[in-house]
Amino acid sequence: MELPAHKGLVAVHFHDLGEAMEANLTALETSPVACELMDKILLDQTKDSPEHAPSRRLLQDDPAALLVVEYYADSPAELERKLDGLEEQLRGREMGYAWVRAVDPADQQAIWGIRKAGLGLLMGMK
């Protein structure tokens, strides 16, 4: 399988898990390639860890939930349209309080790194 020419994501921040779950349904209507919901329990696993501070640098405030929505596109303009479309849909429905875009691979890796580290730490809890 060929890798996409352009890849980007939006990390949507929420004060409420229920709102994030509703927003997930809205995001799925935009045909993303990935849609991941991280709750506060998972996010807090990396909160006080200096090791994971670089991954958390893109987080705004202290979200109760984070919805990461990823898109592939054939051109930068197409990718921007997809990212804009999601943000317009969510803002129009007053969903989320911050919409952090990541089109740079390092930023994308940082956001997905939160999920990976948080899930790993969560699985290690007894």
Summarize the confidence of residues 78-93 as an average pLDDT. Answer: 98
Per-range mean pLDDT, top range of 35-44, 81-90, 105-114: 81-90
Rounded to 10 degrees, the C-alpha dihedral 85/86/87/91 comes to 100
- Residue-level length of the chain: 126
pLDDT in tens, 10-63: 999 999 999 999 999 999 999 999 999 999 988 887 787 777 677 788 999 999
Domain ranges in the chain are 6-123
CB 13 within 8 A of CB 59: yes
Helix, coil or strand: residue 53: helix
Helix (DSSP H) and strand (DSSP E) numbers for the chain = 5, 4
Report which residue type is found at 14: F
| Structure tokens belonging to residue 70 | 């990823």
Whole-prediction pTM value? Answer: 0.88
Helix, coil or strand: residue 66: strand
CATH class as words, domain 6-123: alpha beta
Summarize the confidence of residues 81-91 as an average pLDDT. Answer: 98
Helix, coil or strand: residue 55: helix
N-to-C CA span, the chain: 39
Per-chain mean pLDDT for the chain: 89
What pLDDT band is residue 95 in, cutting at 50, 70 and 90?
very high
CB 72 within 8 A of CB 84: no
Residue 79, pLDDT above cutoff 80: yes
